[in-house]
Amino acid sequence: MPEPNIREKFNPEQPTADPRPDRVQTRGASEQISSGKVIAWRRSSEQEGDDLTDRASQALDEVGQRMSDAYERMQAGVTEAFERAKWKSEQLSRRARSRVRDVVDNYPLHLIAGVAGVAFVAGIFLRVWRSNRYE
């Protein structure tokens, strides 16, 4: 019958011998130190992550506010430009109507001659265009 394995089981609380005889260290203490460092590092990284998230959130809020302000300014500018264009076109149409009324009242024969001349030139243009089109 084979001999039972009588290896000693590893006990983390048992001191381990260091190759240097002046230092004796317990394995459990070093694991506690390293696990403490890991826990501290994790807390630090979680805190940094939270800080980063907070800063990103604040930056997004600020960007959103700036975009909203820019949109409102742009909308106000477009509305103002539209109102100005509307006012100028109304003013231009009033002046044009006033001038046409003056010409009709003061120069009726000149107006009729002008319209007849434009119609004659348009007729010649259309005749030439038609003859060139079907050649």
- pLDDT tens-digit series, residues 71-92: 999 999 999 999 999 999 999 9
Cα(34)–Cα(70) distance, integer angstroms: 53
In this structure, how many other beta carbons lie within 10 angstroms of the beta carbon of residue 111? 13
What are 97-107's pLDDT values in tens digits?
Answer: 999 999 999 99
Q: Block means of pLDDT (10 residues each) for the chain, length 135 residues?
A: 56 53 50 68 78 88 92 95 96 96 94 96 94 78
What is the torsion angle, in degrees rounded to the nearest 10, for the CA atoms of residue 27, residue 32, residue 34 and residue 38? 150
Can you give the pLDDT at residue 55?
A: 87
